C-alpha cells in the first residue's frame, strides 16, 4: 500500500467512516481511470464543451445512448444522457485536443 492510501486509511480511521475511505479511494481511481480522459465534443449551437463518459442502453427500449458531462459554464459538471443517433448526427463536433 503506498503512502497516499495509508494516509487516507488513517483519516478514515480517525473519523470512523467507511464512506470517507471509499470517497477518497474513488477520487484517486477517477484520476487514473480511462473515463477521465474521454473524447471532448463542442455543441454546435451553444459552443459548450462536453466529455463523453460512456455509451450505454436506455432501460425501457434498449436504444443506444451517450452519457456525457458538461465541462464549462455555470452548469459545469452536469451529466447528460442523449440518444446515440442524436449525439452523432451533427449536433456535436469532435474537438481535437493538443
Confidence tier at 38 by pLDDT (50, 70, 90):
confident
In this structure, the number of other CB atoms found within 10 A of the CB of residue 79 comes to 11
Per-residue model confidence as pLDDT tens digits over 52-67: 999 999 888 989 999 9
Per-residue model confidence as pLDDT tens digits over 63-98: 999 999 999 999 999 999 999 999 999 999 999 886
CA 49, CA 96: separation in Å to the nearest integer?
A: 12
CATH number of the domain located at residue range(s) 35-95 in this protein:
2.30.30.320
Per-residue model confidence as pLDDT tens digits over 22-32: 555 555 444 44
Q: What is the mean pLDDT of residues 36-52?
A: 90
Nearest residue to 71 via CA among 47, 87, 93: 47
Give yes or no for residue 36 having a pLDDT over 50: yes
For residue 22, the model assigns a pLDDT of 54
Distance from CA of residue 14 to its chain's centroid?
30
Domain coordinates in residue numbering, the chain: 3-32, 35-95
Exposure pattern of 23-60 as b/e (b: 16+ CB <10 Å)? ebeeeeeeeeeeeeebebbeeeeeebbbbbbeeeeeee
Contact at 8 Å (CB) between 59 and 42?
Answer: no
Amino acid at each position: 500500500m503506498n503512502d497516499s492510501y495509508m494516509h487516507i486509511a488513517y483519516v478514515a480511521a480517525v473519523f470512523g467512516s467507511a464512506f470517507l475511505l471509499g470517497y477518497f479511494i474513488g477520487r484517486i481511481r477517477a484520476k487514473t481511470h480511462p473515463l477521465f480522459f474521454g473524447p471532448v465534443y463542442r455543441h454546435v449551437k451553444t459552443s459548450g464543451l462536453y466529455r463523453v463518459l460512456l455509451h450505454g442502453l436506455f432501460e425501457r427500449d434498449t436504444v443506444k445512448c451517450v452519457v456525457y458531462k458538461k465541462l464549462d459554464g455555470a452548469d459545469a459538471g452536469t451529466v447528460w444522457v442523449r440518444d446515440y443517433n442524436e449525439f452523432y448526427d451533427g449536433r456535436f463536433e469532435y474537438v481535437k485536443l493538443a
